[in-house]
Amino acid sequence: MDDLLDDRCPTTCLALGLDCRNCVERSAEKVAAICHGMTPSGVRSIFAQVYPSAGCAHMAVAFESTYFAAAAPRKPMLMAIAAA
């Protein structure tokens, strides 16, 4: 994975067995776990820093939507059951 630090582009990722969607979604979930409450522009800025290659730009929307889905507050299961 250290190879990705110098050359983050889809060709390198594919050669290492990574696919764009899984990579971007996992990254967005990790960012959401540590950085709650970011604005859309903040999420886009993080994406651009993590994925600077122009070949990754098409995944920005997937990163943003996954971030917001993962960062959304969730009701604890006990409260949902009690409300039923």
Each residue's pLDDT tens digit in the chain (84 positions)?
344 444 456 777 777 787 888 889 999 999 999 998 999 999 999 999 999 888 889 999 999 999 999 998 876 665 555 555
Would you call 13 helix, strand, or coil by DSSP? helix
The pTM assigned to this predicted structure is: 0.73
Q: Which of 69, 6, 71 is nearest to 35 (CA)?
A: 71
16-52: b (≥16 Cβ within 10 Å) or e: eebebeebbbebbeebbeeeeebeeeebbebbeebbe
